[in-house]
Structure 1
Amino acid sequence: MKFQLDQPQGGNIISEHDGRSVWVNGVAHRHSVLVPWQGPVQAWELSRFEDLSEAHFERILALKPELVVFGSGAKIRFAKPQLYRALIQARIGVETMDLGAACRTYNVLASEGRTVLAALLIEA
């Protein structure tokens, strides 16, 4: 599905996704990524939901978002809360959605100027 905001407010925008890739600022990413509201998109070393660990979520802390939108892949799957305990303790919200919903929600929040981060699982 291809979509685009009418008036992007700067920062990172997800313009397209197809389940195997996401396009951020016109650049295709075919692996799991962390997309902060501003700054570089980062590779997220994760190719299967079953491999999620605390370390995957702890990487997000350094980026200091107020909210994380976790795109759990083609279907919605919820990570165990102990995996993202560090985010909870830092009072960072975590919302879980399928990949498409996470991309759309991230764009809305980022366009509002929120300090949001999309953690997008793209399974191999």
Structure 2
Amino acid sequence: MTGSSDTPFLPRQVPIDGYADHFFHFQGMSHAGSILALPSGVRAWDVERVADIDARALAPILAEASAFELLFLGTGRDPAHLAEPMKDLLRAAGLRFELMPTAAAAATYNVLLSEGRLVGAALIAT
């Protein structure tokens, strides 16, 4: 099953304070599993590996595509490739995106967020 929770843990965008052993830490909270960090907030993302990313999993990202311009997609421990049809969906929504291991994606997201850039992150826990 892929997708995301409709209710964000936080109704605002915040940096990722830490990531290890399937957990993300942000704003004094922690979550086991993958997350979306989008302009609307941080929420669970029911994706366990890049192969799980389908149109349904991308739907919450695409719904907010006009609110940010660059998406960091954390692929887990290792680099991975996103299926071309999913890349096409992101491009059609006007999003630029970068795929990289989750630790690097979270760190890069944090740097650009702190600079006031319009970014989002879809981070797969490993």
Shorter-chain TM-score bucket reads 0.7 to 0.9
CA displacement 1:55-88 (0-9 Å, x = unmatched): 2123201122211000000111111121132220
Q: Does 1:112 align with 2:110?
A: no
User: Paired residues, what number?
Assistant: 113
Question: Aligned in 2, Cα 1:109/1:55: closer, same or farther, shift over 3 Å?
Answer: same
Map of 1:60 onto structure 2: 61
- Deviation of 1:33 after TM superposition, in Å, equals 0.8
Map of 1:72 onto structure 2: 75
Map of 1:28 onto structure 2: 30
- Deviation of 1:11 after TM superposition, in Å, equals 4.1
Please, what TM-score do these two structures have when normalized by structure 1?
Answer: 0.81
Structure 1 gaps, min length 5 = 1-9
Q: Secondary structure at the match of 1:41?
A: strand
Structure 2 gaps, min length 5 = 1-11
Q: Secondary structure at the match of 2:41?
A: coil
- Deviation of 1:102 after TM superposition, in Å, equals 0.4
> What is the letter of the counterpart of residue 63 of structure 1?
E
Q: Secondary structure at the match of 1:73?
A: coil
Confirm or deny: 8 A CA contact 1:58 1:84 kept in the other structure.
no
Q: Secondary structure at the match of 1:22?
A: strand
- Deviation of 1:92 after TM superposition, in Å, equals 0.6
Q: Does 1:90 align with 2:93?
A: yes
Question: Aligned in 2, Cα 1:28/1:69: closer, same or farther, shift over 3 Å?
Answer: same
Within 1, Cα distance between the matches of 2:113 and 2:24? 16
Map of 2:106 onto structure 1: 103
> What is the letter of the counterpart of residue 60 of structure 2?
R
Cα RMSD after superposing both structures: 1.7
Please, what TM-score do these two structures have when normalized by structure 2?
Answer: 0.80
Map of 1:4 onto structure 2: none
Map of 1:5 onto structure 2: none
Within 2, Cα distance between the matches of 1:103 and 1:74? 12
